Structure 1
């Protein structure tokens, strides 16, 4: 069992293994009858709120609040699409890079929703990091969730993450920092400023030291108890909570 300290409650906040995270999501979809589109919508909305809390519109300088959302082909990329749509509704200016579009109905629906919101889609990601730094105030990493490892994706995502490792634009990672699952070398990792964990934090993120949010308020109480999550208290009616530094 893996834990990290949580100062506010004096209890241990549980960090889930890959296997536990997969099992929990499966139970949500089967036993608790959550739909995949429903979960994606919940997560995307929460992620956009966390982005807005970490980087309020006024904090992005005098330039337009441009955000690049980089989406992978699996579920985490779909959450990125949902997040992009909400960011647009919150008056940010998202652009999506979605190099390998899924043929699944849910992903296609979220893609169309973004297109109908007049959110532009890039046809390629500039290899020159300065072009990204100059054009965008923020990058949302929605490339890989906990179920996906980099070796299984290959190109163009290996090159995408290599580019993201070298940018100075702040990165917000959804669920886990892409490439951290199964990666033992710190030099091969991207370095996000913000992490938004979905359901519960994951063990591959135990070493993360930036601003950490949790989007897990929707979880049924029986499921929280079964996995001994020890979730923190969410303030007011907020759907996210900022986790305290587990390294102090």
Structure 2
């Protein structure tokens, strides 16, 4: 199973979708770390990465003047991934960025953390609309209009589907992924490029090819291409790892079985069925992952 390395050589184990789901469960049920807290941490870090990328005019050649306000479009789904994207919109707007959200469903259909983040935006005077509500003034259909909208942006955030992908994207979500791919605008994916299976790296249908992926808590096993000497899959792009506030005790409480065999044990207190975890972030809340090994 893949092990990722930071620029400083720190090794970080990867997890499958099921293992990450268990990490989330233990964090919420056993440590009482709220999902809203983790979403807030993810969204704030995502906004910071977007600001770094759009704040350098040389990174977006020919799209805007150096003194213009960066334009960011966040495409969000209804799960935790979408919640992080909605949260990032708030932080971007707080810092003066022109950021807007398009959902893959009607805002009234949102619940849980995504619904909460949507309500925060709307009560702050920020419009949150469904992609299906958008048509170009000339009457172009939604898909074409969305492609044009994304093409005019400085950067697109893909927050449609996270590690919970269970089959090919369909309906409006698939159309939004197609629009991302057709726009040629730089893309930052949150946690997992939408359409890519977090455990295997397979793409059962349409999928986003990200320029950057900001993955949360731990990298996912599917980011490594085992058929290509464990190189990073091209669809992942530049891989960054975000700290969302999960304390190390959560990893020590979650038994991942054979996962322990893929990393040299660094925690003398860890038992054989526990993940050997040492936080890699140092003074920052994100790090770059530069390579991977078995």
* TM-score by shorter chain over 0.5: yes
The residue number in structure 2 matching 1:4 is: 4
- RMSD value over aligned CA atoms? 2.6
Q: Within 1, Cα distance between the matches of 2:8 and 2:251? A: 18
Q: Within 1, Cα distance between the matches of 2:8 and 2:19? A: 25
The residue number in structure 2 matching 1:242 is: 288
Going from structure 1 to structure 2, the CA distance change for 1:145 and 1:130 (only over 3 Å counts) comes to closer
Q: Within 1, Cα distance between the matches of 2:114 and 2:203? A: 32
Does the Cα contact within 8 Å between 1:67 and 1:94 map onto a contact in 2? yes
Does the Cα contact within 8 Å between 1:175 and 1:198 map onto a contact in 2? yes
Residue 157 of structure 2 corresponds to residue 140 of structure 1: yes
Q: Within 2, Cα distance between the matches of 1:66 and 1:111? A: 20
1:167-221, Cα deviation, whole Å (9 max, x unpaired)? 2101100010000116635994321111101111111222345222211262212
Find 2:189's aligned residue among 141, 165, 173: 173
Going from structure 1 to structure 2, the CA distance change for 1:115 and 1:184 (only over 3 Å counts) comes to same
- TM-score where L is the length of structure 1: 0.86
The residue number in structure 2 matching 1:81 is: 86
Residue 28 of structure 2 corresponds to residue 29 of structure 1: yes
The residue number in structure 2 matching 1:204 is: 222
Once structures 1 and 2 are overlaid, which stretch shifts more, 180-189 or 13-22? 180-189
- Structure 1, gaps ≥5 residues long: none
- Structure 2, gaps ≥5 residues long: 135-141, 225-231, 253-273
Q: Within 1, Cα distance between the matches of 2:279 and 2:89? A: 26
Q: Within 1, Cα distance between the matches of 2:178 and 2:17? A: 24
Q: Within 2, Cα distance between the matches of 1:6 and 1:89? A: 30
| 2:91 match: secondary structure | helix
Find 2:210's aligned residue among 174, 182, 192: 192
The residue number in structure 1 matching 2:280 is: 232
Q: Within 1, Cα distance between the matches of 2:8 and 2:115? A: 41
Does the Cα contact within 8 Å between 1:176 and 1:204 map onto a contact in 2? no
Once structures 1 and 2 are overlaid, which stretch shifts more, 200-209 or 57-66? 57-66
In the comparison of the two structures, how many residue pairs are matched? 243
The residue number in structure 2 matching 1:67 is: 72
Does the Cα contact within 8 Å between 2:74 and 2:89 map onto a contact in 1? yes
Map 1:115-126 onto structure 2 (within 5 A): 115-124=122-131, 126=142
| 2:185 match: secondary structure | coil
- Bigger Rg, structure 1 or 2: 2
